[in-house]
Amino acid sequence: MARVTDPRPPLPEWILECYDRLCTQACRPDHGEDSVPLIDYDDATDILVADSELALEQRDVEHALTRLLERGYFYEVENELRITSPEEQC
């Protein structure tokens, strides 16, 4: 995630809104107390495309997910997006 010393500009608000929506949809697998909330990449795409309030096209959603991955909001394992710090971000 972007730190205070990060020279890159902050993510646009609409991308952060995508992140918030996905955090509410992420599930916690049954692998113990320390399990990381996750969401399937395809499910994340479907959720964001279907969200009429966001009104995003497929390529916008893919761009948002790429930016969130690049900034460390998620990391990807076997086509699942896992939230890096759920206690701080969601």
Task: Tell me: pLDDT of 3 over 60.
Answer: no
5 DSSP assignment: T
pLDDT at 85: 67
pLDDT at 34: 60
pLDDT at 55: 93
pLDDT digits (tens, 9 = 90+) for 7-49: 778 899 999 999 999 998 888 766 555 677 889 999 999 999 9
pLDDT digits (tens, 9 = 90+) for 51-89: 999 999 999 999 999 999 999 999 999 999 998 864 444
